[in-house]
Chains A and B, each alone.
Chain A
Amino acid sequence: MIEPQDLRETTLERLIGEVQEFRDAGYRLVQIGATRTEGFEINYSFDRDLKFVNLKIKIADNSVEIPSISGVYWNAFLYENEIHDLFGLKIRNIKIDYRGTFYKVAKPAAFAEKPAAPAARKRAAKPAAGTEVSET
């Protein structure tokens, strides 16, 4: 059976109000996740009695400040710290803010880089004609 996917889009300004409505209606916060696109997409997922709803916001770049929803759902602090550490996004007023130390990663905001298209990666990996390739 295919689970119905209720995917909705909202704006930064309406985010907190809409999240509060989910909380008032008895929804559980399932997850928050970010996706690197041309800008960034942030997905907030909720569930009540196996009814799954996803709220999406789009932002242009990582200079945009996103309001924390940890004032509405306390457990959001984990997801928001994760997004900050992996994508370098600014989230203001997180209830427990690790300030970049949640994940001990070798490269800060490693997921913020937009992955190159496969064809571009192949071109970058292939040495130009006449280039000497040293074997190590």
Chain B
Amino acid sequence: MTQRSIIPFGPQHPVLPEPIHLDLVVEDETVVEAIPSIGFVHRGLESLVAKKDFQEFVYVAERICGICSFIHGMTYCHGVEQIMEIEVPPRAQYLRTIWSELSRIHSHLLWLGLTADAFGFESLFMHSWRLREKVLDIIEATTGGRVIFGSCKVGGVRRDIENAALRTIAATLQDYAKEYREIGGVFLEDLTVKRRLCGVGVLSGEDALQLGAVGPMLRASGVAQDMRLLKYAAYGEIDFSPVTAAEGDSYARCSVRVREIFQSVGIIRQCAEKIPDGAIETKVAGLPDGEFYARTEQPRGEVIYYVKANGTKNLERLRVRTPTFANIPAMLKVMPGCQLADVPVLVLTIDPCISCTER
């Protein structure tokens, strides 16, 4: 007779750098249901808008996450700029796009390494992170920081990158893509990787949409939705289309992220070719009054910043909906029927960022 038990997974677990807990209801080795608990490290950062000047708050927004920090700051700035009708100079928009894509590359490489570690491929983990270091070096050379850039501000950006340096970065990344192709090929072709990912945690496109999934989780189920198509920053002048896969399993989610790194390299190359000369910031005058929903595409998917201002230097409300929060229901949907040993990989395939979620 089948025995039903509840196995706690997390909040401390070898594959989880941050705390999330699942109560796994299992019959023998098969998961029947998963019930999540979060909120172990909730920081209440949203409420700080009532205490910080709206221009100073960019620093707090960037610290919501230590991986996609730049895009958090940029999305916040985008929301405030729309309320105040500030026109950001084109050069600043291109620089924002370049730093966003560098963030995407290093975030995906972080995820690839962690996933390789989760399914026991240690050397692949090390190679993924070795390549990530090279991207972090570019970020450090252009912003002065490795994960917290501090380069975005309301009205533009704080730092410029010389055109010659941009061309060098684009050329470096082209060489880098050749080196990365070898690592990406292991993720896509290696038999042991496929055995751990193919057919595991299948999510249909219809379910992904109904459960509110975003980012690679949604695109790996065949839905070509990418917030960069909203043409914020310089994306309206860049030629790209969303990377998708049809299978909806863990391999498809890995495949989307592997291919998005090549796409990001291509976007940075286009930016280096097209970036116009000119100012990098617009002077901010007045105080914000109004409300706006800013949506951008983080490495993990769509992030939303709801900004509400009342004509004072402090915002009335900031609400941040992070992609990991949106992907939790889809993760719960793919758990039933999987084997207990697959749970760490399945949790990782949404690329969970609890720091964002516990903003």
Contacts and interface: CB of A to CB of B under 8 A. Distances in A.
Nearest to A37: B316
Interface string A63-85: 00000000001110110000001
A3 B39 contact: no
B212 A103 contact: no
A7 to B, nearest CB: 8
Contacts of A2: 82
13 contacts: A5-B293, A28-B209, A30-B321, A33-B306, A34-B319, A37-B316, A52-B293, A52-B295, A74-B210, A75-B210, A75-B212, A98-B37, A104-B40
Task: Tell me the interface secondary structure of chain B in the complex.
Answer: mixed
Given A43-B306, A78-B328, A96-B35, A5 B210 contact: no
Interface stretch (B136-144, B180-188, B224-232): B224-232
Contact of B44 (A31, A36, A105, A121): A105
Given A29-B212, A35-B316, A78 B231 contact: no
A2 B86 CA distance: 11
B329 A78 contact: yes
Contacts of B163: none
B304 A118 contact: no
B212 A104 contact: no
Given A31-B304, A36-B317, A110 B47 contact: yes
Nearest to A113: B47
A50 interface: yes
Interface of A: 1-3, 5, 7, 26, 28-31, 33-37, 43, 45, 49-50, 52, 54, 73-75, 77-78, 85, 96, 98, 101-105, 110-111, 115, 117-118, 121
Contacts of B293: 3, 5, 45, 52, 54
B77 to A, nearest CB: 14
A25 B114 CA distance: 38
A110 B44 contact: yes
A54 B153 CA distance: 27
B18 to A, nearest CB: 14
B42 A105 contact: yes
Interface string B201-216: 0000000011110000
The 6 closest A-B pairs by CB, nearest first: A103-B39, A75-B329, A115-B50, A1-B231, A31-B321, A33-B319
Interface stretch (B169-177, B258-266, B307-315, B335-343): B307-315
B17 interface: no
